[in-house]
Structures are given as structure tokens and as C-alpha cells.
Amino acid sequence: MMDKITPLSAPPGHSLTGVPGKWPWERPPEFSNPDDVIDNIIEKFENGGGKDDLAKMMLAGVTVEELVNQISFKGFMNGKFSPDVAELIKPAMAIYLMGLADDAGFEPQLFVNDPEQSADQISDEAFFNIMKQRNPQLHADMIEEMNRSKRMPSDSPRTPQQQQPEPSFMQMTGEM
């Protein structure tokens, strides 16, 4: 049996009671100018040998978007720059990585594509998968209706039968 308190072991606000500056992102960043950050990252890749590894990862199918997000997040987590600077360097890092791929002779995949959202029209399967996740009651009702129509096929479309209106009592009085 799982202890129900373990996931909630730290009460809200617990991080405010710890020693300030314990984590690198809690201290002032090493760089505050996005241009300096870009120069520093590119210099590390050029001189540190990571450039070939980046090209290999892009050739293997890792997208430029994923690499840029990892580079910027890691720099923030290590206290190199603030989250604002991390966002500001993303376009320049993407251009640098696309240049690496171009120098290596291939075209990298830029973005993580979601096949359900990238198509001009959504497929029926994708539609029902989304509906099943977001509106399960409507999904169940539609499936039941489709199954019912398969179980009870009708040769002709349903049309209400024309019923002769019953004569009113005014019309009946004159006939007697």
C-alpha cells in the first residue's frame, strides 16, 4: 500500500524556509547580456568538441527545437543566465544549429511535429482520440449510436409516416 503522505511531504511554501542561494538558479546569473551568452555557448561548442555531437543528434532526428530548449534550460539550471535570457537566445541558437547541419550537408528537422495538428484536415481517428480524452461522454454516446445503426440497419432513410388527420368534431356533425 502506498503512503498517501509521501507525495505531499513538503507543505506549500517549504522552499521559502530553506537557505537562500542553495540552488544555482537562486543566485545572480553569471551572464545577463544575451549576446555574451550566445558567444559563450558557441565558443564552448566550437572549442569543447560538442559541435560534432550536436550534428550527430540532428542527423539522428533530434529536432533543432529540442536541442535549443535543452541548451537554454541547462544554462538556466546551472545559473549561467536568467530565464528571460534563456528565451532571448533561442532564435540565435536555432540559427547556429541549422548552420551546423548545413555545414554537415543535411537539412535538420526544425520542429517537433504533432501529426494530429500538422495536417490541414484532422483525420477521423485523430478526432475520436481527442474526443475520447477530452469529452468521454460524447465519445461514448457517438460510439453507441454508430454501433446501434450497425445492429439495426435500415434500407431506407427514416421518414415519418404520413398520418391522415382525424376529422374534428365540427366536420363530424354535418355528416350525421
Q: Are 109 and 63 in contact (CB under 8 A)?
A: yes
- What pLDDT is attached to residue 112? 83
Residue 1 has pLDDT above 50, yes or no: no
- What cell does 110 get? 526544425
Each domain of the chain, given as residue ranges in start order, spans: 27-104, 115-144
Quote the CA–CA distance of 26 and 82 in Å, as a whole number. 10
- What pLDDT is attached to residue 126? 79
pLDDT in tens, 17-74: 888 888 888 889 999 999 999 999 999 999 987 889 999 999 888 999 999 999 999 9
pLDDT in tens, 45-60: 999 878 899 999 998 8
- Strand runs labelled E in 42-174: none
pLDDT in tens, 102-161: 999 999 988 887 554 555 667 778 778 888 888 888 888 888 888 888 888 765 555 555
Please report, rounded to a whole number, the percentage of residues in the chain having pLDDT higher than 90: 38
pLDDT in tens, 156-165: 555 555 566 6
Question: In the chain, helix, strand, coil percent, each to 5?
Answer: 60, 0, 40
Using 50, 70 and 90 to split pLDDT, how confident is the model at 77?
very high
Amino acid symbol at 120: D
